[in-house]
Amino acid sequence: MRPLHAVIMAGGSGTRFWPASRAARPKQFLPLADGKPLIQATVDRLSGLCDPAHLWIVTNPLQARALPKVLPGFPKEQIIVEPEARDTAPCVALAVATIAERDPDALMAVLPADHVIEPLHEFHRMLRRGLDIAQDDQTLVTFGIEPTFPATGYGYVECGGPLDDKQPAATRCKRFREKPDRATAEQFLAAGTFLWNSGIFVWSVRGITRAIAAGHPGLAACTEKMRAAIARNNRSLVTRTFKQTPKTSVDYAVMEKAPSVAVVRATVRWDDVGSFPALASVGAHDDAHNVSLLANGASQINFQSQQNIVYAEGKRTVALFGVQGLVVVAVGDAVLVCPKDKAADLKALVEHVRAQGRTDLL
Amino acid sequence: MRPLHAVIMAGGSGTRFWPASRAARPKQFLPLADGKPLIQATVDRLSGLCDPAHLWIVTNPLQARALPKVLPGFPKEQIIVEPEARDTAPCVALAVATIAERDPDALMAVLPADHVIEPLHEFHRMLRRGLDIAQDDQTLVTFGIEPTFPATGYGYVECGGPLDDKQPAATRCKRFREKPDRATAEQFLAAGTFLWNSGIFVWSVRGITRAIAAGHPGLAACTEKMRAAIARNNRSLVTRTFKQTPKTSVDYAVMEKAPSVAVVRATVRWDDVGSFPALASVGAHDDAHNVSLLANGASQINFQSQQNIVYAEGKRTVALFGVQGLVVVAVGDAVLVCPKDKAADLKALVEHVRAQGRTDLL
């Protein structure tokens, strides 16, 4: 059996859960998985599927420094630090270079660090199905989520014809579509052939290397140069080369141009917990439809209050009295109060905070 | 010139500013006087009028223990500890007993610890006017505030005829009226002869002793017994006697029955800062009519938010995004969010907190 390397993509700017999330404490560090950090849950989820020595986390320098506190015991040498924020294609290239150098025959799974995925056995089954397909050293596999509403916050994949008789749950991928506007999202939903792009990919090192070469020769050259630099342990060359990679997404530069891309229909409950209102799916509920996520000793008192969302960490109490439809966050040195319908727009607040010169809060 | 003793009444249950105020940290401990605790401002306000050795603070055991942190350097022997919570008559009796033992010829001023009063020179002038009147060892002087709206949260004094030709700004006091209902308050306002009861009193030790004897012989006996016990430094007898005093207010038991009570019309700006919305008179304002009171390193970010009230202490930031008309409090281990119109009813929330068994928060 060919070895599997799993790459957890853990970037993220930490704006959608501000002030719970900060630059050095992105969403995947928040205890949103039954009190556990999402990234911890992502690592745990790969247990039994992937040798712990074949687990990689790609992240930025700031978050790499903070990682040992969140994932104590995770081997430092399995943290791949992106020299600077570019896009997903350079990130994948660096991961491919790292794994190719150690294990050129490997299969690879690439997964976001900050999603909630259940149940475990279905997740494993779904990934194994993708790995079967990727064995051909050619097909890139993506996992599509059955859309339940015309989401404008997710990318979509359009399903084509069946892959082959052996893989009834997989189809050819016709197209990748970036986050659509509302009308387009509604068309996608009506068409029935579009799935949400889960951001989970499976391929072999050889398959992705070929696809990068076909899709973006410049990126392929950088990938090979980084692999060679890693072989010689020449970190500064890795950094210099990374900074020469094209700022582009793996969807656009590689997946869309790849000769063989398959979509496996996900059979898991998937939630990207994209903003505070999404805590409804992972938090506790009371009779008045208040949702709370309380960690590390936080508590809450609701009185004559309905349909609020409270996120608190640390030994503190949030008391709501006579309020409706609010998001109230109390973490560390910051408190946020906003209506639920503003919570999707926290980026605007974060920009305001930055404009006020309060980078200490970001 | 006869010595003046000033007695600062510092009780209060700390519910109207919860969670900024707590049982051990009542309103007068909050930094509502330009960042200074109200009780500190009250002490400072008496400087130049009263010998510092003649300043007394009457409070409960819990707050007496917390006082040195708020008023460092205030002499412990000038703190009069009420053995238990009764009403204002026992409190005044204990203060009278304490001062009578040391200085039977003294004049006395009794003042709440938790009001904002400005300007200083008018306050001194007003008090001196009262002291002049109290020199007769008979007249009890109260200070009335010109009402600006039909308040139902204050007691009233009804003014009678002029006291005498020497005191044009003072009138005889016709009646004390407890907090009225709205209709009655409107009648008071229309009549023009009613003033808000400021809770500030001036009298001589002899004058108040006589008035207590006339109004409530039982209380007079307790007062004399406490004075004698203080003379012998018999604290346990003071405590036992205090616990035998009638649970009644000084207005009802003494003032209303006294043969001579004068009302001096206050010429100061007076504010009892009764609840969070009252911070409008002592806090900072921004262009969007947000009021903030920030102490000890607290800061605030308002974005697309109007007419809110923020109270925060300690190194923390309260961010408001897209909200209107809220009170947001962040102090110590607690955060409160409620609409402004609920802020006057915080007592109900505090009772709910108690009912939830969260006495740790009170």
Could you tell me the pTM of the whole model? 0.91
For residue A174, the model assigns a pLDDT of 92
Q: Distance from A66 to chain B by nearest Cα, in Å? A: 22
Whether A163 contacts A172, CB under 8 Å: yes
Q: Do B66 and B140 share a structural domain?
A: yes
Indicate the residue among B230, B248, B271 that finishes a domain: B271
Residues of A in contact with B322 (CB under 8 A): 338-339, 341-342
Indicate the residue among A271, A290, A320 that finishes a domain: A271
For residue B121, the model assigns a pLDDT of 95
Residues of A in contact with B15 (CB under 8 A): none
| Alpha-carbon distances, residue B354 vs A145, A157, A359 (angstroms) | 47, 54, 39
Q: Do A304 and A189 share a structural domain?
A: no
CATH number at residue A33: 3.90.550.10
Q: What is the ipTM of this complex?
A: 0.90
Q: Report CA dihedral (A214, A216, A222, A227) to the nearest 10 degrees.
A: -30
Q: Do A286 and A266 share a structural domain?
A: no
CB pairs under 8 A between A and B: 110
Q: Do A310 and A163 share a structural domain?
A: no
Query: Looking at the DSSP assignment, which residues form a beta bridge with residue B194?
Result: B158
Nearest to B170 by CA among B62, B52, B265: B265
Q: Distance from B334 to chain A by nearest Cα, in Å? A: 5
For residue A199, the model assigns a pLDDT of 92
User: What is the end-to-end Cα distance of chain A in Å, rounded?
Assistant: 45
Q: Distance from B301 to chain A by nearest Cα, in Å? A: 7
Mean pLDDT along residues B135-156: 94
Which residue on chain B is closest to A335 by alpha carbon? B318
Q: Do A261 and A354 share a structural domain?
A: no
Report yes or no: B336 at the A interface, CB cutoff 8 Å.
yes
Indicate the residue among A231, A255, A271 that finishes a domain: A271
Structural domain range at position B291: 276-361
Task: Report the interhelical angle of B88-102 vs B235-242 (nearest 10°).
Answer: 150
Residue B29 has pLDDT above 80, yes or no: yes
Q: Do B341 and B257 share a structural domain?
A: no
Q: What is the DSSP letter of A139?
A: -
The H-or-E segment that residue A110 falls in is strand A107-112
- What are the backbone dihedrals phi and psi of residue B337, each rounded to the nearest 5 degrees, phi first? -130, 125
Residue B120 has pLDDT above 90, yes or no: yes
Residues of B in contact with A341 (CB under 8 A): 322
* CB-nearest partner of A338 from B19, B323, B335: B323
For residue A166, the model assigns a pLDDT of 73
How many whole angstroms separate alpha carbon A332 and alpha carbon A338? 18
Average pLDDT value for chain B = 94
Residues of B in contact with A333 (CB under 8 A): 315-317
Instruction: Show the tokens assigned to A192.
Output: 């029935």
Report yes or no: A205 at the B interface, CB cutoff 8 Å.
no
For residue A313, the model assigns a pLDDT of 96
CB contact under 8 A, A316 and B335: yes
Q: Do B236 and B95 share a structural domain?
A: yes
DSSP-derived secondary structure for A227-249 = HHHHHTT-HHHHHHHHTTS----
* CB-nearest partner of A352 from B19, B303, B312: B303
CB contact under 8 A, A334 and B326: no
Q: Do B354 and B249 share a structural domain?
A: no
User: Tens digit of pLDDT for each residue in A61-96?
Assistant: 999 999 999 999 999 999 999 999 899 999 999 999
Query: Looking at the DSSP assignment, which residues form a beta bridge with residue A157?
Result: A176, A195
For residue A15, the model assigns a pLDDT of 87
Tens of pLDDT, residue by residue, chain A (362 residues): 899 999 999 977 778 999 999 988 999 999 999 899 999 999 999 999 999 999 999 999 999 999 999 999 999 999 999 999 899 999 999 999 999 999 999 999 999 999 999 999 999 999 999 999 999 999 999 999 999 999 998 999 999 998 887 777 799 999 999 899 999 999 999 999 999 999 999 999 999 999 999 999 999 999 999 999 999 999 999 999 999 999 999 988 999 999 999 999 998 999 989 899 999 999 999 999 999 999 999 999 999 999 999 999 999 999 999 999 999 999 999 999 999 999 989 999 999 999 999 999 99
CB contact under 8 A, B326 and A323: yes
Nearest to B258 by CA among B270, B248, B266, B250: B250
Q: Do B300 and B248 share a structural domain?
A: no
Number of neighbours of residue A160 by Cβ within 10 angstroms: 15
For residue B30, the model assigns a pLDDT of 95
CB contact under 8 A, A326 and B318: no
Number of neighbours of residue B157 by Cβ within 10 angstroms: 25
CB contact under 8 A, B337 and A323: yes
* CB-nearest partner of B358 from A301, A349, A358: A301
Which residue type is seen at B255? Answer: M
Q: Do B323 and B265 share a structural domain?
A: no
Q: Do B335 and B211 share a structural domain?
A: no
Q: Do A334 and A237 share a structural domain?
A: no
* CB-nearest partner of B337 from A326, A341, A342: A326
CB contact under 8 A, B323 and A301: no
For residue B226, the model assigns a pLDDT of 98
For residue B14, the model assigns a pLDDT of 72
How many whole angstroms separate alpha carbon B98 and alpha carbon B88? 15
CB contact under 8 A, A330 and B326: no
Which residue type is seen at A337? Answer: V
Number of domains composing chain B: 2
Report yes or no: A334 at the B interface, CB cutoff 8 Å.
yes
